[in-house]
Amino acid sequence: MVKVYIDADACPVKAEAEKVATRYKTQLLFVSNSGGRPSPNPFVTHIMVAEGADAADDWIVDQAGAGDIVVTADIPLAARALEKKALVINHTGSKFDEVMIGNALAMRDLKSQLRDEGVISGGGRSFSKQDRSQFLQVLDNLLSKAVKN
């Protein structure tokens, strides 16, 4: 059965993911190195990994398989999960795929370089109610299809 892995540090859609996973009786794993509040929900598991920049990412990639769903805003993690044939979305509901991931990695590197050089500053736009709604719709659609298979 499909599992949903959440790159949980700073993820703004944890409650929404839990709601959808529970509806489909799908295992949801929140993975972080900062811990999390345990849930009484039998479909939710909190995984605390060792401190380290990529420890949560490494754990997710080691565990996720073909058809599982990975929720992350981390583009390198998304690329690694796609290599494992997982379905990958970010917290705004945007899907990552093999076609666009190379461009996303290149853009991430370019923006990092421009920030380091002081050409640009700050991050992306603010997270909105529309983003939250889009995430819910996309995750619901993915799990609905997965449950039917």
Write the pLDDT tens digit of every residue in 71-119.
998 888 999 999 999 999 999 999 998 777 666 656 656 666 666 777 7
pTM recorded for the entire structure: 0.85
* Residues of the chain above pLDDT 90, percent: 62
Question: How many domains does the chain contain in total?
Answer: 1
Residue 100: the pLDDT is 76
What would the mean pLDDT of 17-24 be, rounded to a whole number? Answer: 96
Q: Which residues contact 13 (CB under 8 A, 6 or more apart)?
A: 71, 91, 132, 135, 136
Q: Compute the distance between CA of residue 92 and CA of residue 67 in angstroms, rounded to an integer.
A: 20
Looking at residue 82, which CATH number applies to its domain? 3.40.50
Q: Compute the distance between CA of residue 112 and CA of residue 129 in angstroms, rounded to an integer.
A: 27
Residue 124: give the domain boundaries.
Answer: 3-148
What would the mean pLDDT of 114-125 be, rounded to a whole number? Answer: 68
- Give a three-class secondary structure readout of the chain: CCEEEEECCCCCCHHHHHHHHHHCCCEEEEEECCCCCCCCCCCEEEEECCCCCCHHHHHHHHHCCCCCEEECCCHHHHHHHHHCCCEEECCCCCEECHHHHHHHHHHHHHHHHHHHCCCCCCCCCCCCHHHHHHHHHHHHHHHHHHHHC
**Does 38 score more than 70 pLDDT?**
yes
Rg (CA), the chain: 15
Residue 108: the pLDDT is 56
